[in-house]
Amino acid sequence: MRTVVCAEPGHMTLEQRDPPSCGEGEALLRIRRIGVCGTDIHAYGGNQPYFSYPRVLGHELAGDIVEVGTAGDPELIGQRAYVIPYLHCGQCRACRNGRTNCCQRMQVIGVHRDGGMCDTLAVPLDHLVVSDTLELDQLALVECMAIGAHAVRRSELTHGELAVVCGAGPIGMGVAQLARERGARVVVIDTNPERLAFCRDKLGIELTLNPSENDIDAALKTLSDDELADVVFDATGNPAAMQAGFDLAGHAGRYVLVSIVKADITFSDPVFHGKELTLLASRNATRVDFDEVTRLMESGRLKADAMITHRAELADVPERMPAWCTPATGVVKAMIELDDSPRQSTTGAPS
């Protein structure tokens, strides 16, 4: 089968490998869609923690179930499904407490073990979710949106609170939409005017700020009667921005770090204590978050597929990946397609 391998930072190859076998408790998924996310981009650039090379990337996955292992339900064959890519041990303290997203022995498909940039992948049956309603593109985006759902749930955001989302990439866009579902007033901050316009025009996020054009502190104080944000979410993947986010939260506020970077993050302890801030990390997502996103997608309340701006067939990924990692190309979300009859690769914007 075809397999795209990230051999080392900045270098991908198309290889032929033997297809996987289907073990007990597993299913074979014929991959149909692969969303390219920030984790893949950081891994390609050599900036992803918990990572080693060579590695087959890809964890935003959707496809058709073509085989089930021993004791598996044969009626699953032929159904469409998405993948929950976080393989947890079920035994550590985090798992015992229902926090499977931060398992002590976590194995993420496409990060710790080879992922879905291939024709067929063996996946544990309990990590596949079937849907008769969602299209393939939507199925491949559930994981991305679940990251946002988990961050918002971690924050305990409530109706009417001011939520500031720093970073208008796909994760930030997901956080913003899920925060809006909680009834919060949502502000998105980014230095990219095209991304901010996308949030306004495509996602309906009315309040956006650009640090290059706006006084962020003054704007947030105006929106909050000088009290700043109730909750700040960082989805920038930028250490400087992550440190600056502490200043955007008001007294008794919460700061949720959705981004993860290979860097140390520092803050002023007197300011942190003076505001009595709550600092939270948000890693991955749980089944509860996936179920919430699935429900909202099926009801049409989330505009996840609007984020897809670029497309390519699997064989073209090594050539396309450098452009997808370049902000100037206008990529919001790239989607890899694997169809029965491979069609010419297309893009929603220049590749």
pLDDT tens for 261-280 read 889 999 999 999 999 999 99
pTM for the full model?
Answer: 0.93
Phi, psi torsion values for 138, nearest 5 degrees:
-65, -45
> pLDDT of 130-188, one tens digit each?
999 999 999 999 999 999 999 999 999 999 999 999 999 999 999 999 999 999 999 99
Confidence at residue 49, expressed as pLDDT on a 0 to 100 scale: 83
H helices of the chain, in order, are: 38-45, 93-96, 136-155, 170-181, 193-201, 216-223, 239-244, 269-275, 287-298, 317-324
Confidence at residue 339, expressed as pLDDT on a 0 to 100 scale: 77
| 165, two tokens | 């989302």
Burial of 192 (0-12, 13-18, 19+ CB in 10 A): middle
The two most distant CA atoms of the chain are separated, in Å, by: 62
Whether the upstream peptide bond of residue 350 has omega within 30° of 0, thus cis, is no
Q: Among all chains, which residue has been given the structure tokens 């035994």? A: 91
DSSP 11: E
| Domain positions in the chain | 2-130+303-337, 148-281
For 244-275, the three-class secondary structure string (H helix, E strand, C coil) is HHHHHEEEEEEEEECCCCCCCCCCCHHHHHHH
Average pLDDT estimate for 56-83: 95
Q: Among all chains, which residue has been given the structure tokens 């469409």? A: 80
- Spatial distance between the Cα atoms of 329 and 347, rounded to a whole number of angstroms: 11
Q: How confident is the model at residue 327 (pLDDT cuts 50, 70, 90)?
A: confident
DSSP string, 87-146: E--S-SHHHHTT-GGG-TT-EEBTTTB--SSBSEEEEEGGGEEE-SSS-HHHHHHHHHHH
Confidence at residue 349, expressed as pLDDT on a 0 to 100 scale: 39
Q: Among all chains, which residue has been given the structure tokens 């002590």? A: 104
Q: What percent of the chain has pLDDT over 70?
A: 97
- Among 281, 37, 332, residue whose Cα is nearest residue 151: 281
Q: What percent of the chain has pLDDT over 90?
A: 89
The answer on pLDDT for 245 being more than 50 is yes
What rounded mean pLDDT belongs to the chain? 94
Assess contact for 278 and 229: CB atoms under 8 A: no
Burial readout 227-253 (b: 16 or more C-beta within 10 A, e: otherwise) = ebbbbbbbbbbbeebbbbbbbbbbeeb
Assess contact for 139 and 33: CB atoms under 8 A: yes
Question: Could you tell me which CATH number the domain at 148-281 has?
Answer: 3.40.50.720
| 99, two tokens | 């926090």
Q: How confident is the model at residue 350 (pLDDT cuts 50, 70, 90)?
A: very low
**DSSP-derived 3-state class of residue 83:** strand
DSSP 21: P
Question: Could you tell me which CATH number the domain at 2-130+303-337 has?
Answer: 3.90.180.10
Confidence at residue 340, expressed as pLDDT on a 0 to 100 scale: 58
> pLDDT of 29-68, one tens digit each?
999 999 999 899 999 999 888 889 999 999 999 999 999 9
Confidence at residue 313, expressed as pLDDT on a 0 to 100 scale: 97
> pLDDT of 84-125, one tens digit each?
999 999 999 999 999 999 999 999 999 999 999 999 999 999
The answer on pLDDT for 126 being more than 80 is yes
Average pLDDT estimate for 307-326: 95
